[in-house]
Chains A and B, each alone.
Chain A
Amino acid sequence: MPDIFQSNSNKTTASTTSTPAVQNTSTPTPSNTSSTPAGPLTKASIAAQNIANMPQTAMNLFSTLSIKPQGVNFANQDPNENVILFFRADFITNTFWIFATIFLVFVPILFVILAPMVNLSLAMLNPQANFIILYFYYLLVFSYAFISFMYWFYNVGIVTNKHIIGVQFSDVTYKNISTTPLQEVADIDFSQQGFSQTFFDYGTVSVQTEGINPKIDFVKIPEPGKVTDIILQIREVLNE
């Protein structure tokens, strides 16, 4: 297993985000670099060096694309398995539910204002019933926002130096975790369609595999071209 993937794993986030890319990109001399195999520059060695030179990105609650993220672990992770890429749907994809939630928060106020105009009133119910209806309504609105956030937060893709892991979580009761060895990746492509995806640079990355799961789709992820390129480079290094 090439040790190129482990080159930056022990560095702190603050230092790696600013320095490593500058150090190596100007003079790609493989013989001087401990992480690059000696000899002539092959496609795999260039890919290995590119991966080593990628700056680490810090993780936060709203991270959508992190390269060599610090502190991302998963169950059944091998001791020498390092996370190289972490991604989830672009944050712009949350716009709909955020605005819908804001609108729903104000619906009771709108109801109070507009109901008399159509001769409708909740005065027929006793005050306790009104309180319970309002309480339940806001609980449902909170639940809608919370579940929508969860869908975004937990639908993630993780690429390590050994596997591609896709976590799909939807409808609350459904979750699917696909783990595919990188060697089994047959093809990878990405697509962007529509104004929003092109403007905000997000799209779908499809990974065709030779394993049990024939296809893994990472939907609406940011910078799909860059993600595709990084996965291809990792595979290039592994296939050497």
Chain B
Amino acid sequence: MIDLSFFFQSNGGNLILKVAFLILEALFIAFSIIVVNQVSSLNKLFFIQPAHSSRIIQILSIVQLVFAIFLFLVTLAIL
């Protein structure tokens, strides 16, 4: 059995894990913001019927961003 429990259950290990996650999640938030902007820009560029298709994609991109921010806050709070 690979046993890294000592490392991850120590304060130092936990802190390293937390910082690593926060960095990754911050990058993911930045990525999600880019996606939201790109979707918005492309929807302005051309309009395709049915209208709800573009709107669904716009909403999904925002949902992704919201979930990413929520994950960041949860990591900050509980880890």
Does A167 interact with chain B (Cβ within 8 Å)? yes
Q: In terms of DSSP, what is the predominant structure of the interface of chain B? A: helix
Q: What's the Cα separation between A238 and B63 when bound, in Å? A: 46
Decide if A72 touches B8 in the complex (CB within 8 Å): no
How many pairs of residues, A versus B, come closer than 8 Å at their CB atoms?
107
**Number of residues from B at the complex interface, CB < 8 A:** 42
Does A126 interact with chain B (Cβ within 8 Å)? yes
Decide if A125 touches B48 in the complex (CB within 8 Å): no
Residue of B nearest to A154 (CB): B42
Nearest-CB distance from B72 to chain A (Å)? 10
Decide if A59 touches B60 in the complex (CB within 8 Å): no
Residue of B nearest to A177 (CB): B45
Q: Which of A73, A119, A177 contacts B1 (CB 8 A)?
A: A119
Decide if B60 touches A146 in the complex (CB within 8 Å): yes
Decide if B28 touches A139 in the complex (CB within 8 Å): yes
Does A135 interact with chain B (Cβ within 8 Å)? yes
Nearest-CB distance from A66 to chain B (Å)? 9
Q: Give the residues in chain A near B49, CB-CB below 8 Å.
A: 59, 69-72
Q: What's the Cα separation between A143 and B63 when bound, in Å? A: 11
Decide if A119 touches B74 in the complex (CB within 8 Å): no
Does A23 interact with chain B (Cβ within 8 Å)? no
Nearest-CB distance from B50 to chain A (Å)? 6
Q: Give the residues in chain B near A124, CB-CB below 8 Å.
A: 3-5, 8-9
Decide if B79 touches A73 in the complex (CB within 8 Å): no
Decide if B53 touches A61 in the complex (CB within 8 Å): yes
Interface pairs A-B: 9 shortest CB-CB: A71-B49, A124-B5, A74-B46, A61-B53, A73-B47, A59-B49, A128-B78, A119-B1, A154-B42
12 chain-A/chain-B pairs, Cβ below 8 angstroms: A72-B48, A121-B2, A124-B4, A125-B17, A135-B74, A136-B24, A139-B67, A139-B71, A143-B35, A146-B64, A172-B35, A175-B42
